[in-house]
Amino acid sequence: MPKLLKDKSLVDNGWQVLPKDFSGSLPDAPCFVPLNYWLANKESLQNPDTIGVWLDADQEPEKFAGDIEKLRHLAVNFPSFMDGRGFSIARLIRERYQFTGELRAIGHIVPDQLFYLSRCGFDAFCLDALSLGDEAEPHHQLEDYLAAFSVTYQACVNQEQPLFRRR
Amino acid sequence: MYIYDQHDKTLIGERVAQYRRQTDDYLAGKIPDAVFLPLRLQNGLYVQRLAPMLRINIPYGMVSATQLRALAGITRKYDKGYAHFTTRQNIQLNWPQLEEVPDILAELAAVEMQGIQSSGSCIRNVTSDEFAGISADEIVDPRPWCEIIRQWSTLHPEFAFLPRKFKIAVSGSKSDRAAIQVHDIGLQVLKNADDEVGFKVLVGGGLGRSPAIGEVIKDFLPAKHLLTYLEAILRVYNRYGRRDNKYKARIKILLKAWTAEVFADKVEQEWLQQIDSPSTLTDEVIAHAEAFFTSPSYESVDVASCEAALQQLASEQIAFGKWRDRNVVTHKVAGYCAVHLSLKPTGVAPGDVTDSQLEAIADLAERYSFDEVRVTHHQNLVLGDVKLSDLPELWQAAKQLGFATPSIGTLVDMICCPGGDFCSLANAKSIPVAEAIQRRFDDLDYLYDLGDIKLNISGCMNACGHHHVGNIGILGVDKKGEEFYQVQLGGSALDDASLGKVLGPSFYAREIPDVLESILNIYVDRRIEGETFLDTHRRIGTAPFKEFIYAKAA
């Protein structure tokens, strides 16, 4: 089974990500539905433990702001690890819309981004998204990437006070 | 100057360790090229035409004697014994080995220097006025604000993968010497009618392929909101800036597509959501930053007798008088002045210094200017706090070291990028063109008669040599594998910022000195008493220059 880095440890990833143009009926397994599918069908998608929503980098969390509190699983797609829009989307989801469930990075990210991703509010990362392959042994302990720095200047999701208020 | 505390030291040490591990992984084949690229760029390492190039930040241009000595040692140990000052207050090593860069960064960290975000699609080194804190026309010292921005932007987790590079400049004086109108964000620190400090905020300036003058999106931002407002601008840019085409990815393109009004409104809406968040600056934080930039302990100087002695020396030694006129700048404190160390002697690439020169500059700073040096975006250095009575001695020392070329602000004090000799982006060489111009125009009296002229040379349209904002700009272009040079007239990066207009078809390198001479002859013929080159060009336009030069060629 594919692996997921969650809460700093590796767990099985039982979730599917349905394609952006998905239509039809949902699989039995837990899944992330694309945002547009959610917006069109949300009345019938009532089980937040098995149904999450994923956003692509060009989509706006503002579009489903009112629904966020009903959800427990969200994912943001990185079309390429060089495309940084997902960092802003994650902060909006956490800081502006106060989302407290699981926020997963999907698509293409690299291990050296884990620190920034987690600062922006992601707490789950697909290992295939990390280009490590489903079962590949990472070169270093993944938690080391998450703890790359012990000092940060800015306020962010995991540290509301900027360093200048903590000095 | 800002001094690191244990937080800054820990962060920079962890950054070096991180990059060492990344380099090891890359060399072991565990990180592919495409992934290593942004990692090395965000530590300053490019891969150039002949070798890697390492760009080291000199935040807002302030560098200490100790740091200069460390840089000298690094150029000796890891490079070929010289370095290059850029137009954005950075210093570059042209020949480091990729494997040794972690060691270089560790040596830099020991003297509180780094290359963090000096390249790549992220927030770059914040730049400012080389006369910050010492000029008579200053309203507010920009350096504490620069330092606050430096810390905020360093390893900012949200803005490390922007659509494109992002440059911020801050000016705090009446005359803009930081080129804030041609930066992604330009900040003018000022005071309102109630004497409160704030910022005029310009967005969307820049050079490169689509040069643009920045537009004001906020007339007065109260100082405490600086970081939340910057964060709002960057967030709007990060989310909506184009990523499909790197030539249309700068914030200026977004601003033009939306209009400044729409952009300003979008930023305002985003900012209002963040306003008064913990990132709002407190009085204590501002005072803490300001405390690093207090005046040094100036001595009281007998100005009248000093002036008399200097006048006397100038009358005896014309060269001293010329140097003082051109290279010495007035200071806000009576009895002190600022002194340019010219890095533009004929035959040396503009901005280049050797290891022993770096050490000599450190000596001069320690002897004459409270251990500090400022880097200018014209690729010269400034000793900011020199006692008037030290001028004769400093002149002698600078002369011996080759820093006393009395040409600051003249035609031959040109800005010039490394060009095709070093840079893999360049279409054409720029250093030999600069040298040919310096050799042709070697008569100081003629140069002084021409007065202030900004000549800027870039080896390609990425415009590192700021050719668009030179009064005369020269741009290297490639036509079917041959190097040609386009000439532009009428640019300026000062308060009256404007972009140069292309004169006409481009020239061979060997023609450039003649073309320049023709341009200057027309200026001399047509100028009215007191007019600078830029004034005359603005009055008569490009046409008279164009007609003469191309008629002559035909």
What pLDDT, on the 0 to 100 scale, is given for residue A131? 63
| CATH topology match: B143-291 vs B303-401 | no
Sheet order of strands, B455-458 included: B415-416, B455-458, B472-479, B482-489, B501-502
Q: Which residue of B has its CA nearest to A82?
A: B161
Q: Report which of A103, A118, A117, A111 is spatially closest to residue A142, judged by C-alpha positions.
A: A111
The Cα of A47 is separated from the nearest Cα of chain B by a number of Å equal to: 30
State the CB neighbour count (10 A cutoff) for residue A166. 12
Secondary structure of residue B484 in the 3-state scheme = strand
Paired strand residues for A34 = A54
Q: Which of A115, A154, A161 should we substitute to test contact with B (largest number of B Cβ atoms within 10 Å)?
A: A154
Report CB contact under 8 Å: B30, A139: yes
Q: Report which of A130, A96, A136 is spatially closest to residue A111, judged by C-alpha positions.
A: A130
* Residue range A41-98, pLDDT digits in tens: 999 998 999 999 999 999 999 999 999 999 999 999 999 999 999 999 999 999 999 9
Domain B143-291, CATH among 3.60.15.10, 3.30.413.10, 1.10.287.10, 2.60.120.510: 3.30.413.10
Q: Report which of B143, B140, B139 is spatially closest to residue B60, judged by C-alpha positions.
A: B143
pLDDT band for position A138 (50/70/90)? low
Q: Which of A62, A98, A164 should we substitute to test contact with B (largest number of B Cβ atoms within 10 Å)?
A: A164
Q: Which residue of B has its CA nearest to A154?
A: B152
Q: Which residue of A has its CA nearest to B18?
A: A148
Which chain A residues contact residue B11 at CB under 8 A? 149, 151-153
**How many A×B Cβ pairs under 8 Å?**
102
Which chain B residues contact residue A148 at CB under 8 A? 14, 18
Of the CA atoms within 13 Å of residue B507, those in its CB half-sphere come to 22
What is the Cα–Cα distance from B467 to B397, expressed in whole angstroms? 33
Report CB contact under 8 Å: A87, B160: yes
Residues B511, B514, B517, B521: is their CA dihedral positive or negative?
Answer: negative
Pairing of strands A102-107, A73-78: parallel
What pLDDT, on the 0 to 100 scale, is given for residue A134? 45
Q: Which residue of B has its CA nearest to A90?
A: B158
* CB-based contacts of B329, cutoff 8 Å, min separation 6: B131, B135, B337, B338, B339, B340, B382
**Residue B330 in contact with partner chain A when CB distance is under 8 A:** no
Report CB contact under 8 Å: A154, B279: yes
Residue A137 has pLDDT above 60, yes or no: no
Chain B 195-234, CB below 8 Å of chain A: which residues?
227
**Residue B43 in contact with partner chain A when CB distance is under 8 A:** no
Residues of A with CB under 8 A from a CB of B: 81-85, 87-89, 91, 96, 110, 112-113, 115-117, 119-120, 131, 139-140, 148-156, 160-165, 167
Residue B410 has which token pair? 């003249």
Sheet order of strands, B90-93 included: B45-47, B52-57, B90-93, B82-85, B352-354
**Residue B510 in contact with partner chain A when CB distance is under 8 A:** no
Paired strand residues for B84 = B92, B352
Report CB contact under 8 Å: A164, B285: yes
The Cα of B18 is separated from the nearest Cα of chain A by a number of Å equal to: 7
Report CB contact under 8 Å: A120, B282: no
Report CB contact under 8 Å: A84, B38: no
What is the Cα–Cα distance from B96 to B103, expressed in whole angstroms? 11
pLDDT band for position A135 (50/70/90)? very low
Secondary structure of residue B458 in the 3-state scheme = strand
CA A142: distance to chain centroid?
16
Report CB contact under 8 Å: A162, B38: no
Q: Report which of B262, B400, B373 is spatially closest to residue B319, judged by C-alpha positions.
A: B400
> Nearest CB to A84: which of B11, B154, B162?
B162
Domain that holds residue A14: 3-165
Domain range summary for chain B, segments of one domain joined by +: 6-110, 143-291, 303-401, 415-553
* Residue range A95-109, pLDDT digits in tens: 999 999 999 999 999
Total domains in chain A come to: 1
What pLDDT, on the 0 to 100 scale, is given for residue B554? 57
* Residue range B202-212, pLDDT digits in tens: 999 999 889 99
What is the Cα–Cα distance from A16 to B120, expressed in whole angstroms? 34
The interface predicted TM-score (ipTM) is 0.96
Residue B178 has which token pair? 């930081």
Q: What is the CATH number for A19? A: 3.20.20
Q: Average pLDDT for residues A144-158, to the nearest whole number?
A: 95
What is the Cα–Cα distance from B275 to B262, expressed in whole angstroms? 19
Q: Which CATH homologous superfamily contains domain B415-553?
A: Sulfite Reductase Hemoprotein, domain 1 (3.30.413.10)
State the CB neighbour count (10 A cutoff) for residue A125. 26
Q: What SS3 string covers chain A? A: CCEEEECCEEEECCCEECCCCCCCCCCCCCEEEEHHHHHHHHHHCCCCCCEEEEECCCCCHHHHHHHHHHCCEEEEEECCCCCCHHHHHHHHHHHHCCCCCEEEEEECCCHHHHHHHHHCCCCEEECCCCCCCCCCCCCCCHHHHHCCCCCCCCCECCECCCHHHCC
Of the CA atoms within 13 Å of residue B462, those in its CB half-sphere come to 17
Q: Report which of A161, A145, A143 is spatially closest to residue A153, judged by C-alpha positions.
A: A161
Report CB contact under 8 Å: B14, A163: no
Assign residue A98 a region: left if phi > 0, alpha if psi is -120 to 50, beta otherwise? left
The Cα of B279 is separated from the nearest Cα of chain A by a number of Å equal to: 6
* Segments in chain B below pLDDT 70: 49-50, 552-554
> Nearest CB to A116: which of B160, B243, B277?
B160
Strand (E) or helix (H) holding B478: strand B472-479
Which chain A residues contact residue B224 at CB under 8 A? none
> Nearest CB to A154: which of B38, B156, B235?
B156
Please give the class, per CATH, of domain B303-401: alpha beta
Per residue in B120-155, is it b (16+ CB within 10 Å) or e — as a string?
bbbbbbbbbbbbbbbbeebebbbbbbbbbbbbbbbb
**Residues in chain A, total:** 167
Strand (E) or helix (H) holding B6: helix B6-27
What pLDDT, on the 0 to 100 scale, is given for residue B401? 95
Report CB contact under 8 Å: B152, A154: yes
Residue B451 has which token pair? 């007065």
Q: What CATH number does the domain located at B6-110 have?
A: 3.90.480.20
> Nearest CB to A165: which of B154, B158, B278?
B278
Secondary structure of residue B208 in the 3-state scheme = coil
The Cα of B14 is separated from the nearest Cα of chain A by a number of Å equal to: 6
Q: Are B139 and B173 in contact (CB under 8 A)?
A: yes
Q: Which residue of B has its CA nearest to A151?
A: B11
Which chain B residues contact residue A88 at CB under 8 A? 158, 235, 238-239
Strand (E) or helix (H) holding B493: none
What is the Cα–Cα distance from A41 to B261, expressed in whole angstroms? 37
Report CB contact under 8 Å: A85, B154: no
Q: Are A76 and A86 in contact (CB under 8 A)?
A: yes
> Nearest CB to A116: which of B10, B157, B238?
B157
Secondary structure of residue B170 in the 3-state scheme = strand
Residue B257 has which token pair? 């597509």
Paired strand residues for A80 = none
What is the Cα–Cα distance from B382 to B386, expressed in whole angstroms? 10
